[in-house]
Structure 1
Amino acid sequence: MNAAPADQIRLLDVQSLDVRLTQLAHKRSTLPELAELSALEAELTQQRDLLVAAQTEESDTTREQTKAEQDVDQVRQRAARDQKRLDSGAVTSPKDLESLQRELASLAKRQGDLEDIVLEVMERREAAQARAAELDGRVQAVQAKVDDATARRDAACTEIDAEVETVTKERELTVADIPADLLKLYDRLREKHGGVGAARLYQRRCEGCRLELDLTELNDVRSAAADAVVRCENCSRILVRTPDSGL
């Protein structure tokens, strides 16, 4: 393949721009805010799960307390009815009086037991409420950190994307006058060799593989026509000759 020396040298400019685009892509994918967000979002998920569990416990104990209070109220009402019967004098049979008194005593014990249950449930409910309030505060605090990290990530991405756009436009202008076949070869080699398709021959050394050309290779390059597209024998990249090639 042949191409004007100026077009070959222009490939180095394209290569430099492609390297910059690769660097920008790497920078965007390795922003410290990304790792920070990943950790924060995991923490946020954990805290939210704990909050939901605490809120569920609070809801459950609220229903449990309501039920226990209703049970106490029912026993209290029944005891009040029995006491009213006892106080009214309507029950005159000693046996019935004894039975009624035993029932009142049983109801009093039952009411005491149920009131103890209410107190125990109330304590658990208050603990769940306090736990939910604490976790809600944690969730809000972590969410604030997530929002801050997100804003910093977005700002960094916007800056990188703006530079990518600038470099991309510059690349489009640079490749506009490069022969299609030369550019196609360069792109193919760049894809194959880690993003580098053309390298400068500097002081007899290929800057693509960093190896110095041996005497035979140097003689081949020296004897090649100025418009010949030469390749590095070691890495196969396009070898661009410049006044600093050491030929």
Structure 2
Amino acid sequence: MNAAPADQIRLLDLQALDSRLDQLAHRRRTLPEHAEIEQRSTDLAQLRSLTVAAETQLSDTQRELTKAEQDVDQVRQRAARNQKLLDSGSVGSAKDLTNLQHEVGSLAKRQSDLEDVVLEIMERVESGQTRVSEMTARRDEAERSVKEAEERRDTSYGSIDAEVEKITRDREILAEAIPADLMKLYIRLRTQNAGIGAARLFQRRCEGCRVELSITDLGAVRAAAADEVVRCENCGRILVRTSESGL
């Protein structure tokens, strides 16, 4: 293949732009915020689950408290009715009076026991409320943390994308000036060689693979016409000759 020396030189400029685009793409993929967001999102998901669990437990305890308070109220009402009956003096027989007095005493003991249960449940409700408040605060802080990391990531995205946009425009203009057959070869070699399709021959060394050309290979390059597209015998990349090639 033949191409004007100026077009071959343009390949080096194109390669520099493509390498920079590759670097930016790598940087975009490997921003430290990615790992940070992943870890913080995992923590947030766990905190959300713990918060829901704490809220559910509190709700269950509050229902338990309502039921216990209702039980106390029922016993208290029954005891009040019995006491009112005793106070009215309307109980006729001694046996009924004794039974009623016994029931009043039993209800008092029952009420005391139930009130102790209510107090114990109230303590658990208070503890549950504290737990929910703590978990909610931790969850909200985790959400803010994730949002802050995402904002930093998006800021980095904006900076990277702006540079990519500019370089892409410059590349399109440069690529239009390079012959199609030379571009096709460059793109194929770039795909095959880790993103490097063309390299400068500098001081008898291929800057693509960093290998110094042998005497035989140097002789072949010296003998090649200026417009001949030469390739590195070691890596196969296009070798672009300049005044610093050492030929």
TM > 0.5 between the two? yes
- Report the Cα distance in structure 2 between the residues aligned to 1:71 and 1:161, rounded to whole angstroms: 67
Larger deviation, residues 63-72 vs 136-145: 136-145
Partner in structure 2 of residue 111 of structure 1:
111
Partner in structure 1 of residue 76 of structure 2:
76
Where does structure 1 lack aligned partners over 5 or more consecutive residues?
A: none
Is the 1:44–1:139 Cα contact (8 Å) retained in structure 2? yes
What does 1:27-176 correspond to in 2, within 5 Å?
A: 27-176=27-176
- Displacement of 1:200 after TM fit? 0.7
The count of aligned residue pairs is 247
- Report the Cα distance in structure 2 between the residues aligned to 1:174 and 1:135, rounded to whole angstroms: 57
What does 1:11-30 correspond to in 2, within 5 Å?
A: 11-30=11-30
- Report the Cα distance in structure 1 between the residues aligned to 2:191 and 2:76, rounded to whole angstroms: 85
Equivalent AA in structure 2 for residue 213 of structure 1? L
SS in 2 for 1:234: coil
- Report the Cα distance in structure 1 between the residues aligned to 2:86 and 2:146, rounded to whole angstroms: 68
Is the 1:57–1:125 Cα contact (8 Å) retained in structure 2? no
SS in 2 for 1:106: helix
Is the 1:79–1:108 Cα contact (8 Å) retained in structure 2? yes
- Displacement of 1:155 after TM fit? 1.2
- Displacement of 1:52 after TM fit? 1.2
Deviation per residue, 1:9-34 (Å, 9 max, x gap): 10010100001001111111122222
Where does structure 2 lack aligned partners over 5 or more consecutive residues?
A: none
- Displacement of 1:159 after TM fit? 0.8
SS in 2 for 1:187: helix
- Report the Cα distance in structure 1 between the residues aligned to 2:219 and 2:106, rounded to whole angstroms: 115
- Displacement of 1:191 after TM fit? 1.1
What root-mean-square deviation, in Å, do the aligned CA atoms of Structure 1 and Structure 2 show? 1.2
Deviation per residue, 1:149-185 (Å, 9 max, x gap): 2222111110110000000000001110111111111
- Report the Cα distance in structure 1 between the residues aligned to 2:202 and 2:33, rounded to whole angstroms: 39
- Report the Cα distance in structure 2 between the residues aligned to 1:235 and 1:224, rounded to whole angstroms: 18
Deviation per residue, 1:51-78 (Å, 9 max, x gap): 1111111111111111110011011111
Equivalent AA in structure 1 for residue 98 of structure 2? E
- Displacement of 1:147 after TM fit? 2.3
- Displacement of 1:99 after TM fit? 1.6
